[in-house]
Amino acid sequence: MTFDKKQFEEIIDAFTVTKEGLREVAADFRYDLRQGLKDPAQSSLRMLKSYIGLPTGDEQGEYLALDLGGTNVRVLRIRLDGEGRFKVLKKVAKPLRKEGAYDYIGKGSTATQMFDFLASLVDDAIDGERQETFLLGHTFSFPSEQSNLYNARLIVWTKEFATAGVEGEVVNDLLKAALHRRGIENVEPTAVINDTVAVLLAAAYEYGDTYIGSIYATGHNTCYLEPYAGKVEKPMILNLESGGFMKLVPNRFDAALDAASEKPGEQRLEKMASGRYMGELFGMALAELLGESKNYGFTSIDMSAILVDDTEPLETAKKIVASKTGHVLGADDLALAKRLARAILVRSARLVTASYVGIIWQLAGDGGIQKQHIAIDGSVYAKMPGAKECITATLSELLGEDAEKIDTTLAHDGSGLGAAIAAAISTK
Ligand code: BGC
């Protein structure tokens, strides 16, 4: 099998965003931000209020942190020691879906099953203790409408979650009910935050100059500290739900992926950029080149393995492609498959960076761009070969010399630490 070169180049083109195109994305993102500040209904960004600002770094005490947002759920006991220091005392982690055993996120699963499972993990994290009181911070990584730090109502599932009975509900009420069912009366959920907010809190706890927090993983989203300059409101972190940014031009693969997804017409940026979908896009483009219409089930982990393969002639890539598609590709086609994976990752990182630039421009206003960190966590940023470098290069492309003022930092495990910080802030 040899790929049609013309068809291949056309596919690469479909995944390429030019410099001008990218500037437009950044400008449109900033426009939607501004519109969203006036009236979220006029913007594709939800701009959800978090009812929390940045920590001082002096928060202290022992807290529970529940982190629910991807395929793995974690409960941590964390001690905050102030001055940006902390210690993880205990960590319990389990997948929400285990092939052949259970599934709390697929179609047919219910809120009761999911939250009873979460309560059992909380129980493990406190070693069955029923006396000592624990305050719990909850990182819940889905679009939620909040009216205060405790009260977060899930608007809609993303990332293909389909558990019935959670949309429209106050998630911490569901958690409390499950804790009570299990006889746990000494754990008090006091704060719910998005994972982007958690990442920003975690980074700001350790060092200053951080106003933007982002997740670049299974899902994608960014938050920032809105200063509300000149307004009566106090500075507050806004969860943009930037995965829902719509001012992007989908190609035919994006359109087909969207049509087959749980929530067609939603989460355009996320579907073009996040880890949950990149492997699928890769598989769809490969299927076209192979003249088939199958879903091969590629993941972003497969793409990473293909991208790091430096063997001659791409032995790992060959095995992965053969196991998923049933086709044993020759050296030339394997090199093209690797180029395809790279093109999809590069487009993803460029779009994500353009959204950061939109926020940086908005924060700078009419003044200069401030020296700052952008806190990022997530498997794509941390593990996909070339993702971080591409973000750095794209910042330079869009910001020129000002890019030197921006440092992207990995806020590893920020979701857990951020939840503990939010629980600490909830006591103030
Ligand atoms: C959710 C966001 C979340 C992001 C990263 C998206 O699907 O809508 O709330 O921050 O995933 O986990």
Residues 132 and 160 in one domain: yes
Tally of structural domains, the chain: 2
Residues 289 and 347 in one domain: yes
Q: Is the CB of 196 under 6 A from ligand 1?
A: yes
Query: Of 142, 168, 193, which residue sits at a domain end?
Result: 193
202 domain-assigned: no
Distance of CA 231 to the CA centre of its chain: 30
Cβ atoms 121, 114 nearer than 8 A: no
Cβ atoms 159, 219 nearer than 8 A: yes
Residues 177 and 259 in one domain: no
* Distance, CA of 274 to CA of 278 (rounded, Å): 6
Select from 268, 263, 169, 172 the least CA-distant residue to 221.
268
User: C-alpha distances in angstroms, 233 versus 39, 53, 150, 366?
Assistant: 15, 11, 19, 21
Q: Is the CB of 378 under 6 A from ligand 1?
A: no
* Distance, CA of 8 to CA of 2 (rounded, Å): 11
Residues 244 and 316 in one domain: yes
Whose C-alpha lies nearest to ligand 1, atom 1? 142
Residues 262 and 395 in one domain: yes
Full residue range of the structural domain in which residue 68 is found: 60-193
**Gap from CA of 138 to ligand 1 centroid (Å):** 14
**Gap from CA of 140 to ligand 1 centroid (Å):** 9
Query: Of 134, 169, 193, which residue sits at a domain end?
Result: 193
User: C-alpha distances in angstroms, 334 versus 267, 341, 386, 422?
Assistant: 31, 11, 19, 47
| pLDDT score at 71 | 83
| pLDDT score at 359 | 98
Residues 320 and 179 in one domain: no
Q: Compute how many other C-beta atoms are within 10 angstroms of the C-beta atom of residue 10.
A: 11
348 domain-assigned: yes
Residues 10 and 97 in one domain: no
Strand partners, 98: 102
Helix H or strand E segment including 28? helix 19-38
**Gap from CA of 269 to ligand 1 centroid (Å):** 11
| pLDDT score at 229 | 80
Select from 309, 423, 315, 404 the least CA-distant residue to 67.
423
53 domain-assigned: no
| pLDDT score at 232 | 84
Cis check for the bond before 235: say yes or no (omega within 30 of 0). no
| pLDDT score at 347 | 98
Show the 3-state SS of 188-218. Answer: EEEEEECHHHHHHHHHHHHCCCEEEEEEECC
17 domain-assigned: yes
Residues 223 and 186 in one domain: no
108 domain-assigned: yes
Average pLDDT per 10 consecutive residues for the chain, totaling 428 residues: 94 98 98 95 96 96 96 95 95 96 96 98 97 97 97 95 97 98 98 98 92 96 93 93 98 98 96 97 98 95 97 94 97 97 98 98 94 96 97 98 95 92 95
Whose C-alpha lies nearest to ligand 1, atom 3? 141
Q: Compute how many other C-beta atoms are within 10 angstroms of the C-beta atom of residue 100.
A: 5
| pLDDT score at 312 | 86
Phi, psi of 6 (to 5 degrees): -65, -45
First-to-last C-alpha distance (Å) of the chain: 65
**Gap from CA of 215 to ligand 1 centroid (Å):** 7
